[in-house]
Amino acid sequence: MLKEVTTSGYDARLMSKAATLYHLTGLTQVEVAQRLGISRQLAGRLLREALRRGIVHIEIRPPKPEVNRLEPELEERYGLAEAVVVTAASDAEAVVNRAIGRGAAELVARRVPEGGVLGLSWSTTVYETVQALTPQTQQRATVVQLDGGANAGGHHTHAEQIITLAANAFGGPGRTLVVPLYVEREEIASGLLADSGVAGTVALARQADVMVFGIGPVSAATSLYRAGYLSDQTLGELAEAGAVGDVCGRFFDAEGRECLEALSRRTLAVGFDDLRSCPFSIAVAGGAQKIDAIHGALRAGLCDSLVTDQATAEELLRRATDIPTRQARPRAASSGTQERTTP
């Protein structure tokens, strides 16, 4: 049984350890509690007490000058309408994802029009984004899932939770796509897409005013592999085809060209053309393991905006020397205040 005692019985060392796990390692309060063998409530009190005693000092600073420089350079080199570069407390994957999520949440809240449609894929970074959203209930925006996310292989994709959290934040209804991301045969995909409920959700997703999605690498580190959607054999086939990353379960190579079309035909998700035709599409991704994937997605023109971390932004700019400077594609209407039009 977990001990339930007050923080007064603990020394500064334990408070410092809890604070380090939470703020620098990126663990959640539940994970901190499990690591230290205490209850979640006590973990929360330890963190608050560490702040009160000055063990943790939170300092809010304006963006570093180099971050201010990186954003317009990314926009110019990759033809982005808006780039957001965040700084993370450490290079731990969870810490980077959390920082990106916070930066993306502000952008999403600003870009979703009143009464509009927000499309979301499922990924770790998108999950961090919706967790960081502040209530925008006056927006009355509809939230819809962009790709199938039924749990597979015992791994939870959090797809339904992502839609629920975002719908609550925007004060509108949520539409989930309760089908697998991949099916075994093309005819199964065709049959599912013929279902009125599935077809209606996919049609709504394709009409989204704003789409938000993660970018995954082609490796065992990707959420698709952990979720049981990709086997070692499929990873090998993707590598042989030159794939470097995926968006909404669809893969592309270093030049941004779609790979493994046979798999794409068995994929239940919006397509690359849907992302390109969306009024405003936002990619949320960062970390050294995703550099190739993010670079390929940018070359493919899959997003209007990128939210990433400083180290990733610097490496992307080093790689941008191999592509011509691109112009951001024109927007159909100004963001945030646009009127919804029916396609």
Query: Quick count: other Cβ atoms within 10 Å of Cβ 221?
Result: 13
* Phi-psi group of 330: left, alpha or beta (phi > 0 → left; psi -120 to 50 → alpha; rest → beta): beta
Q: Residue 334 — pLDDT band, cuts 50, 70, 90?
A: very low
Q: Residue 153 — pLDDT band, cuts 50, 70, 90?
A: low
SS3 content of the chain, % helix, strand, coil (to 5): 45, 15, 40
- Write down the pLDDT at residue 338: 41
Name residue 185's amino acid: R
- More confident: 226 or 155: 226
- Name the 3-class secondary structure at 142: strand
- More confident: 221 or 335: 221
For residue 185, pLDDT over 80 is answered with: yes
Torsion of the alpha carbons at 195, 196, 201 and 207, rounded to the nearest 10: 120
Architecture of the structural domain at 65-322: 3-Layer(aba) Sandwich (3.40)
For residue 176, pLDDT over 90 is answered with: yes
For residue 10, pLDDT over 90 is answered with: no
How high does pLDDT run on average in the chain?
87
Residues 6+ apart with CB under 8 A from 107: 82, 84, 282, 305, 307
Q: In this structure, are strands 243-247 and 216-217 parallel, antiparallel, or unpaired?
A: antiparallel
Q: Residue 211 — pLDDT band, cuts 50, 70, 90?
A: very high
- Domains of the chain, by residue range, sit at 7-52, 65-322
Q: Residue 223 — pLDDT band, cuts 50, 70, 90?
A: confident
Q: Which stretches of the chain are DSSP H helices?
A: 12-19, 29-36, 40-52, 65-78, 93-111, 124-131, 159-170, 186-194, 196-206, 223-226, 232-240, 261-264, 272-277, 291-299, 310-319
pLDDT of 230-266, one tens digit each?
889 999 999 999 999 999 999 999 988 999 989 999 9
Q: Residue 326 — pLDDT band, cuts 50, 70, 90?
A: low
- Name the 3-class secondary structure at 291: helix
Q: Which of 141, 146, 132, 64 is nearest to 103 (CA)?
A: 132
For residue 286, pLDDT over 90 is answered with: yes
- Name the 3-class secondary structure at 311: helix
This prediction's pTM: 0.79
Residues 6+ apart with CB under 8 A from 108: 118, 129, 133, 210, 212, 282
Q: Residue 342 — pLDDT band, cuts 50, 70, 90?
A: very low
- The CATH number corresponding to 7-52 among 3.40.50.10440, 1.10.10.60, 1.10.10.10, 3.40.50.300 equals 1.10.10.60
